[in-house]
């Protein structure tokens, strides 16, 4: 089991960048009280602290975020109740991405859809355990299409080229987490990032310009990660999303979310780019009201 990470910063600094009205954080997790939502016995890691929805909402107020997408946290396994509880607190402004088995029947997908979930995530990261084979995931995709859901893929940079042919065949949108988890120290000409750019040529593939602190090999402010986010937003501005990844699982040093928010200005230097990244794109993919 992975080692616990340090606790998140309870009060991030106020970003220097003012986010536009309707700004959306499309990637964060919740670690709710164990008394209500116990972790799965076979979890891949144990969170070091509670990170409840109330703390998340406070962090969003500090950053100027008005909408959000909670991503089911691996310690809960396939029990999405804690994420559903967060969405229920603010159903107009929050959506969810579930963790599920690829064999999940349509009736269960419809139940989760009614709770505010709009996609399902699959891991291809060694530290999170073996996931469903990609062929099984693609077999699930027609059921996702029935309810307007998308696939979210969390994979190691070294696996992008391997999974690309299958992901290109997906009949539903595919969202790639954390800029493909590439190694930023190798530069934007690296094989891993070039494989991600090739995958992004498929018009149904999206990418999250999140996880600068994960792909960087430098300390804050993670300058080596900036060219990757900038490249994705510049070339695929209508299919990029941003997220904090709060409360930052499995990191040796937990970042300040205010500092992460300020990177948006470098990924998307124009107001038009930020409007797409933070407002229009999440509204389109997750079904927020205009």
- The pLDDT of residue 93 is 98
Annotated catalytic, 42?
no
Kindly indicate whether the domain formed by 24-286 is annotated with CATH number 3.40.50.720. no
Tell me the sheet residues that pair with 119.
97, 150
The residue among 195, 22, 175, 179 whose CA lies nearest residue 93 is 22
Catalytic residue of the set 245, 256, 257, 262: 245
Is-contact 26 244, C-beta < 8 A?
Answer: no
User: Which residues are CB-contacts of 100 (< 8 A; sequence separation ≥ 6)?
Assistant: 78, 80, 108, 109, 112, 120
Residue 229: is the preceding peptide bond cis (ω within 30°)? no
- The pLDDT of residue 127 is 66
- The pLDDT of residue 278 is 98
- The pLDDT of residue 11 is 85
Sign of CA dihedral 141, 145, 146, 152: positive
What pLDDT, in 10s, does the model give residues 199-225?
999 999 999 999 999 999 999 999 999
Q: What residue ranges of the chain have pLDDT lower than 50?
A: 1-4
Tokens 């998308």 correspond to what residue? 150
Cα separation, 74 vs 63, whole angstroms: 25
DSSP 188: T
């Amino acid at each position: 089991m992975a080692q616990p990470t340090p606790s998140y910063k309870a009060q991030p600094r106020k970003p220097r960048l003012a986010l536009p009205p309707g700004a959306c954080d499309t990637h964060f997790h919740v670690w709710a009280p164990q008394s209500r939502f116990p972790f799965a016995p076979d979890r891949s890691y144990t969170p070091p602290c509670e990170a409840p929805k109330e703390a998340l909402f406070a962090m969003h107020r500090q950053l100027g975020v008005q909408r959000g997408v909670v991503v089911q946290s691996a310690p809960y396994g396939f029990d999405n109740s804690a994420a559903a509880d967060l969405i229920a607190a603010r159903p107009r402004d929050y959506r969810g991405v579930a963790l599920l088995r690829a064999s999940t029947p349509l009736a269960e997908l419809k139940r989760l859809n009614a709770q505010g979930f709009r996609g399902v995530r699959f891991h291809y990261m060694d530290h999170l355990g073996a996931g469903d084979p990609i062929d099984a995931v693609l077999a699930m995709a027609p059921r996702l299409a029935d309810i307007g859901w998308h696939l979210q893929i969390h994979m190691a940079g070294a696996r992008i080229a391997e999974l690309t042919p299958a992901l290109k065949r997906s009949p539903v949108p595919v969202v790639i987490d954390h800029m493909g988890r590439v190694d930023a120290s190798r530069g934007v000409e690296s094989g891993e990032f070039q494989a991600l750019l090739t995958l992004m040529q498929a018009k149904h593939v999206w990418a999250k310009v999140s996880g600068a602190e994960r792909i960087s090999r430098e300390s804050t402010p993670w300058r080596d990660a900036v060219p990757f986010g900038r490249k994705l937003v510049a070339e695929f501005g209508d299919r990029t999303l941003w997220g904090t990844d709060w409360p930052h699982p499995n990191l040796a040093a937990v970042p300040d979310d205010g500092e992460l928010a300020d990177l948006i200005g470098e990924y998307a230097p124009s107001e038009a780019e930020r409007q797409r990244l933070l407002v229009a794109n999440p509204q389109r993919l997750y079904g927020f009201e205009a």
